Amino acid sequence: MKISHIEHLGIAVKSIEEALPYYENVLGLKCYNIETVEDQKVKTAFLKVGDTKIELLEPTSPESTIAKFLETKGPGFHHIAFAVEDGVANALAECEANGIRVIDKAPRNGAEGLKIAFLHPKSTQGVLTELCED
Ligand code: ZN
């Protein structure tokens, strides 16, 4: 596959409202979008950092994978998202052909209207990995 850049870094937080002052007032980044992704049961906040972004993820339900992540690991780094040039469906097929465990068998809708799919951290050197395309 061909990765063009790191689209964003995902960070799990208990509360976007409580996390934002650090990112905005201390780091001087600007939040430009807050959006709820219903099927992932998360609220997301995006901040630009040069050519990439930070995505803050807050659970909207105790069943959210982010809620489970916060319970076991606490707030912090959650996933890396790579932008793929040849499409998420092709990249997924390539991963499966290489024996990589995928969480999503097919691309689905993520925040910001992106097509996304996650790869399992057991197959990605321990880092939950998201592939995305605009
Ligand atoms: Zn993400």
In CATH, the number for domain 3-133 is 3.10.180.10
Q: Is the pLDDT of residue 134 over 80?
A: no
pLDDT over 90 percentage in the chain: 91
Residues 44-51: what's their mean pLDDT?
95
CA distance 134 to 122: 26
Q: Is the pLDDT of residue 113 over 90?
A: no
CA distance 59 to 42: 4
| Extents of the domains making up the chain | 3-133
* DSSP codes, 12-29: E-S-HHHHHHIIIIIS--
Residues 41-56: what's their mean pLDDT?
96
Q: Is the pLDDT of residue 123 over 80?
A: yes
| Residue 47 near residue 112, CB atoms below 8 Å | no
Question: Which pLDDT value is given to residue 110?
Answer: 86
- Ligand 1 centroid – CA 122 distance (Å): 18
- Ligand 1 centroid – CA 27 distance (Å): 20
Question: Which pLDDT value is given to residue 4?
Answer: 95
pTM: 0.93
- What is the side-by-side strand order in the sheet with 42-49? 31-37, 42-49, 52-59, 3-12, 76-84, 129-133, 115-119, 108-109
- Ligand 1 centroid – CA 40 distance (Å): 11
- Ligand 1 centroid – CA 110 distance (Å): 8
Instruction: State the chain's mean pLDDT as an integer.
Output: 95
- Ligand 1 centroid – CA 99 distance (Å): 23
